[in-house]
Amino acid sequence: MSSQVGTVLDQAAAAIAAAPALALACHHTPDGDALGSMLALHHLALANGKQSVASWPAPFEVAAHYDFLPGLDLATKPADYPTEPDLMVTFDCGSIGRLAELGEPARRARELIVVDHHSTNDGYGTINLIDPDAAASAVVVRGLLDRLGWELNREAAACLYTGLVCDTGRFQYHVTTPAVFDLAKELASFDLPIAAMNRQLFEEHRLAYLKLAGAALQRAEYDGDRRFVATWVTAADLTEFGVGLEETEGLIDLLRRTTEADVSCVLKETPDGTKASLRAVTDYDVGRLAIGFGGGGHKAAAGFVSPMGVRELLDAIRDALPVVA
Ligand SMILES: [Mn+2]
């Protein structure tokens, strides 16, 4: 952690400690780190006598991988979210656009704390607690809890562990430092059901999804000049296989296994446009690439939503990549 991040941690902790009520939010189609980091603070705010609401944009659902997370039943529908919160905190959300309709209360909030680790975060808060060196937003939250003097409980530990294990790729990505293992040890000491969480988070899928993934991998296109592999999922695929869009989040993790590819991409037709997920396994920065298309993320993992159709967008992404072979 840099000293600058340390100073902002103090500011954020002071603002939270002084506030009687918190309004928490995470990004659209929340992943394990977004939900886990938000719900951890939600649990401990309530345990420490604060009022707290926690929400994410419509559709107000979570992927089945995350439905064990304690505290989902304590979340508030976006329609019931405070319109002008005194103190709002966002989690794992690199830009205000990813808050969708909750961007409005974020703009109106008297104080807006942005808790994040995305290097492309544009600092849309009044207090920007952004640590690009942190393995997960959950790590940033752990530091915040420390400053607040709020002790962990089992629910919060399960939430933070979920964020940590998801964003480190089960302790495999380059962000997996000794400090990450120290935090994992602290969290696991709350008698967390590690094996059951792992099974639900990473291993199990409905057979319908596995069949859709098979079809998507079958049609994958490889560009040897750019060492780029890509595939796509259409709205018709989702209907044909009976699969929800939120179930397809892990498809990019299958495709990124491709030995021949440096950069991998999955495109999905969604009601809001074509969603692109990008991964890099070399020094190439897909976060920068995503910024060029109005999105963002990390160097090795990024994404965006585009008004272009699947074919047109796939060609545009390919054209934006350097020829390397
Ligand atoms: Mn994250």
Q: Which of 2-6, 122-126, 285-289 has the lowest mean pLDDT?
A: 2-6
Crossing angle for the helix pair 32-47 and 137-148, nearest 10 degrees? 10
- Maximum separation of any 2 CA atoms in the chain, in Å: 59
Strand 221-223 relative to strand 301-306, pairing: unpaired
Give the distance (Å) from ligand 1 centre to CA of residue 33: 5
How much is the average pLDDT of 275-279? 98
Tell me what pLDDT residue 293 has: 97
For the record, the structure tokens of 301 come out as: 């993992």
pLDDT digits (tens, 9 = 90+) for 7-36: 999 999 999 999 999 999 999 999 999 999
Give the distance (Å) from ligand 1 centre to CA of residue 233: 24
| Residue partners of 192: CB distance under 8 A and separation at least 6 | 154, 157, 158, 161
How much is the average pLDDT of 252-267? 97
Q: What is the CA radius of gyration of the chain?
A: 19
Instruction: Identify whether the C-beta of residue 144 lies closer than 8 Å to the C-beta of residue 14.
Output: no
pLDDT digits (tens, 9 = 90+) for 118-162: 999 999 999 999 999 999 999 999 999 999 999 999 999 999 999
pLDDT digits (tens, 9 = 90+) for 160-215: 999 999 999 999 988 999 999 999 999 999 999 999 999 999 999 999 999 999 99
For the record, the structure tokens of 71 come out as: 């505290």
pLDDT digits (tens, 9 = 90+) for 216-230: 999 999 999 999 999
Tell me what pLDDT residue 1 has: 67
pLDDT digits (tens, 9 = 90+) for 79-112: 999 999 999 999 999 999 999 999 999 999 999 9
Instruction: Identify whether the C-beta of residue 115 lies closer than 8 Å to the C-beta of residue 136.
Output: no
207-320 domain in CATH 3.40.50.12280?
Answer: no
Tell me what pLDDT residue 160 has: 98
Q: CA–CA separation, 320 vs 196, rounded Å? A: 41
Q: CA–CA separation, 62 vs 72, rounded Å? A: 9
Give the distance (Å) from ligand 1 centre to CA of residue 116: 7
Give the distance (Å) from ligand 1 centre to CA of residue 325: 32
Looking at domain 3-201, which CATH architecture does it have?
A: Alpha-Beta Complex (3.90)
Res. 3: pLDDT tops 80: no
Give the distance (Å) from ligand 1 centre to CA of residue 163: 7
Instruction: Identify whether the C-beta of residue 270 lies closer than 8 Å to the C-beta of residue 279.
Output: no
Sorted by where each begins, the domain ranges of the chain are 3-201, 207-320
To the question of pTM greater than 0.75 for the whole model, the response is yes
Cα-Cα end-to-end distance for the chain: 38
Tell me what pLDDT residue 6 has: 86
Instruction: Identify whether the C-beta of residue 115 lies closer than 8 Å to the C-beta of residue 89.
Output: yes
